[in-house]
Amino acid sequence: TFKFGEDPDWYHKAFFEAHNGIDYGMPVGTPLLACDKGTLLFADHLPDLDGRGIILNHSWGQSYYWHTSEELAKYGIEIEKGDPIGYSGATGFATGPHLHFGIRVNNPDSLNIRGFIDPEPYFEDMVTTPQPPSPINKTHIVLPGDTLFGIAKKFYGNGSQWRRIWDANTDKIKNPNLIYPLQILKIP
């Protein structure tokens, strides 16, 4: 299973980009619940590379549920948060049974992967996720082409940890999409 933004060499060769969601290992047949109110945008019944899956449309964007074994959501029916929409599986290119969950927002920015954003911050109130240990306080001088995602990947091994850097530098960074060469950033 992968976290958002992980990009091992073999994965990049297969999919041409970093991992655009979070994988949750679970037994085949585990009920999948809608993350928010919405409607069915697409139900993929073809067991191709990304497996069977469900895409729900929400007011803020879409939620993606891949590698399903069965889809329950129906077109034209309003889906409420928490409604069962399908069952987990191991269809497509999967190393075992799991749910690949992704969210894509209506107004993507440069910190995203084709509009996909890290879902983990939206679950902070519901799930406790251990954070990697903080390195000794360091600084980083921003170079042309640097992004918070890239800097986080360099220091933490995971670009989705970019918020840690932003939070530590709110006095210098008002917009996480705008960092400038020669800025000196604290790396917590």
Domains and CATH numbers, the chain: 9-123 (2.70.70.10), 138-187 (3.10.350.10)
Catalytic one of 19, 58, 98, 100: 98
Report d(CA 98, CA 2) in Å as an integer: 10
Give pLDDT tens digits for 157-185.
788 888 889 999 999 999 988 999 999 99
* pTM of the predicted structure, to 2 decimals: 0.59
Those residues of the chain that have pLDDT short of 70 are: 1-20, 46-49, 108-115, 123-137
Phi-psi label, residue 157: left if phi above 0, alpha if psi -120 to 50, beta otherwise: left
Give pLDDT tens digits for 60-77.
889 989 888 989 988 888
45 catalytic residue (yes or no)? no
